[in-house]
Amino acid sequence: MQNETGSVLIIVTLLAAVLFGFVGLVIETGRLHLLRTETVRAADAAVLAAVGAMRRDESIDQAVDDILAANAPRSGQFITIGFLPNFAEQEFGIVLRGEAPVIFGGFLGIPHLATEKHSVAKHLVWPGPGRDVLIK
Strands 132-135, 112-125: pairing kind? antiparallel
Q: Is residue 2 part of a domain?
A: no
Q: To which H or E segment does residue 69 belong?
A: helix 60-70
The rounded distance, in Å, linking the Cα atoms of 120 and 51 is 9
Q: Is a pLDDT exceeding 60 seen at residue 127?
A: no
pLDDT for the residue numbered 14: 94
**96 C-beta neighbours (distance < 10 Å), count:** 24
Stated pTM of the model: 0.74
Task: Give domain status of residue 14, yes or no.
Answer: yes
Residues 68/80, Cβ–Cβ less than 8 Å: yes
**What pLDDT shows up at residue 16?**
95
Determine if residue 130 is left, alpha or beta; phi over 0 gives left, psi from -120 to 50 gives alpha, anything else beta: left
97, part of any domain? yes
Distance CA 21, CA 26 (A): 9
- pLDDT for 131: 53
Tell whether 1 is covered by a domain.
no
Beta-bridged to residue 125, according to DSSP, are 132
Domain of 37, in residue numbers? 7-135
Q: Which residues pair with 86 in a beta bridge?
A: 91
Tell me, yes or no, whether 52 lies in a domain. Answer: yes
Q: How many domains does the chain have?
A: 1
pLDDT digits (tens, 9 = 90+) for 35-61: 889 888 888 888 888 888 887 888 888
**Higher per-residue confidence, 130 vs 49:** 49
At 93, is the secondary structure helix, strand, or coil? strand
Instruction: Give the residue from 77, 76, 81, 67 showing the smallest Cα distance to 117.
Output: 81
